Amino acid sequence: MKYEIILTVNGVAYPVEVDAHASLLHTVRDQVGLTGSKEGCDDSECGACMMLIDGRPVNSCSYLACQADGAEIITVEGLAPGDDLTPLQSAFLAEGGVQCGFCTPGMLISATALLAANPEPTPDEIRVGLSGNLCRCTGYDGIVRAVSKVARG
C-alpha cells in the first residue's frame, strides 16, 4: 500500500508517495533527490545517514519515512544556505576532519546536534557525541579538533 506523505527537508515541503516500510534515507535520496546523506551499513551502526528530525539526530536508514510525515528534517545540504559553510563545516576542512568524505555528512549532523545540546563539550564529550558515526580514514582526531574549535569559538 502506498502512502502520500509530506517530508519537509531543509525547510522545503516535498510531497512523496511511499510504502509503509520505506526508509527515510532512501526516500530522501531517491525521491526528494538530496544525496548528501549516505547509506553505509543500513542498520544504524555507522551514522553516515544521520539527519535531524525536529532537532533529534536520527539514523535515517532505520527510520520509517511514514513516521517523518510532517516533521522538520535537516540534512547536510541544509546546514548552511547555498554554497556557504557553517563554522563547523569550515573547521572540518581546516582541521583535516575530511578525507574520503563519506562519513562527513553524518559527522556534521551529529556534531551539530551535540553543539546544540551542549555548546561547550569537552573532547571526551565530543567523542561520546560522535559515537555511532564511523570514519575509516581520518582516525577521528581531526574531527574532534574541528568540533572543539567551534565549541571554543
Residue choice 36, 40, 57, 78 for contact with other proteins (CB under 8 A): 57
Positions in 93-122 near other proteins (CB under 8 A): 110, 113-114
Task: Kindly state the cell numbers that stand for 153.
Answer: 569559538
Residue 39 as a binder of other proteins (CB under 8 A): the answer is no
Residue choice 10, 27, 59, 138 for contact with other proteins (CB under 8 A): 59
Residue 137 as a binder of other proteins (CB under 8 A): the answer is no
Residue choice 69, 137, 145, 148 for contact with other proteins (CB under 8 A): 69
Name the pairing type of β-strands 72-74 and 2-9. parallel
What's phi and psi for 88, nearest 5 deg?
-65, -45
Q: Which helix (H) or strand (E) holds 144?
A: helix 141-152
DSSP 75-128: -GGGSSSTT---HHHHHHHHTT--SS-SSHHHHHHHHHHHHHH-SS--HHHHHH
142 alpha carbon, distance to own chain's centre: 18
Residue 135 as a binder of other proteins (CB under 8 A): the answer is no
Residue 27 as a binder of other proteins (CB under 8 A): the answer is no
Residue choice 85, 93, 100, 128 for contact with other proteins (CB under 8 A): 128
Residue choice 47, 78, 105, 142 for contact with other proteins (CB under 8 A): 47
| Integer Cα distance of 111 and 105 in angstroms | 10
Residue 90 as a binder of other proteins (CB under 8 A): the answer is no
Residues that bind other proteins (CB under 8 A): 1, 3, 19-21, 23, 42-45, 47, 50, 56-59, 61-64, 66-67, 69, 110, 113-114, 128-132
